[in-house]
């Protein structure tokens, strides 16, 4: 586990110490330096966390991604698309609503589908040794595309998550 953004639980601000401290003392100055360092650690940890918001509106994820073309770290955005039911041995396209003129760089494309009657759940894309069971997922300029090798219409709820650089 990466613990680089975990902050130890401690008394960052102990009001009892402040009540009896002379604000002109070295002790107060050390306390203030310690307080500023703790607040900065909190800010760094919060800013480094992945935001757990999955919304149908564009949301900043809290992730930064290195972009070789721009030679810098760039923020990652997330959008969730309600794809609806899967198709019957065909391709189905659903508009993702991103500006087709923009040159997006996708960092992750994934989803999940569920059959609410039989209580079956599958990740998207879905890989298996049986070719007809594979569920393919890809994105083009205007759509999210899912292709199934057999009838998957019983999977009536599908969400696709797009994460990208703008």
The tokens for 32 are: 């203030």
Q: What is the pTM of this model?
A: 0.74
* Owning domain of residue 140: 59-165
Sheet holding 157-165, edge to edge: 59-67, 72-82, 157-165, 105-115, 120-124
Place of tokens 């930064």: 64
Answer yes or no: do 114 and 65 share one domain: yes
**Cβ within 8 Å of residue 71, ≥6 positions away:** none
Answer yes or no: do 156 and 94 share one domain: yes
Answer yes or no: do 43 and 72 share one domain: no
Answer yes or no: do 138 and 77 share one domain: yes
pLDDT for res 108: 95
Q: How many domains does the chain have?
A: 2
Answer yes or no: do 153 and 112 share one domain: yes
In a domain, 158, yes or no: yes
Instruction: Using a pLDDT cut of 70, give the percent of the chain over it.
Output: 92
Answer yes or no: do 26 and 65 share one domain: no
Sort strands 120-124 and 105-115 into parallel, antiparallel or unpaired. Answer: antiparallel
Residue 1's pLDDT band, with cuts at 50, 70 and 90, is: very low
In a domain, 115, yes or no: yes
Residue 94's pLDDT band, with cuts at 50, 70 and 90, is: very high
How many other CB atoms sit within 10 Å of the CB of residue 164?
22
Answer yes or no: do 6 and 41 share one domain: yes
Q: Pick from 47, 49, 51, 72: which is nearest to 60 by CA?
A: 51
In a domain, 54, yes or no: no
- Asked if residue 139 has pLDDT above 90, the reply is yes
């Amino acid at each position: 586990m990466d613990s680089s953004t975990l902050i130890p639980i401690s008394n960052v601000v102990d009001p009892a110490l402040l009540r009896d401290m002379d604000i002109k003392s070295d002790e107060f100055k050390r306390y203030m330096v310690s307080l500023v360092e703790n607040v900065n650690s909190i800010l760094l940890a919060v800013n480094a966390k992945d935001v757990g918001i999955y919304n149908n509106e564009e949301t900043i994820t809290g992730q930064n991604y290195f972009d070789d073309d721009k030679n810098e770290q760039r923020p990652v955005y997330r959008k969730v698309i309600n794809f609806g039911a899967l198709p019957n041995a065909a391709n189905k396209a659903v508009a993702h609503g991103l500006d087709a003129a923009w040159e997006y760089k996708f960092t992750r494309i994934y989803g999940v589908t569920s059959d609410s009657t039989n209580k079956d759940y599958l990740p998207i894309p879905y890989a298996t040794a049986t070719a007809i069971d594979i569920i393919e997922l890809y994105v083009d300029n205007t759509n999210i595309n899912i292709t199934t090798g057999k009838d998957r219409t019983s999977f009536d709820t599908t969400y696709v998550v797009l994460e990208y650089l703008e």
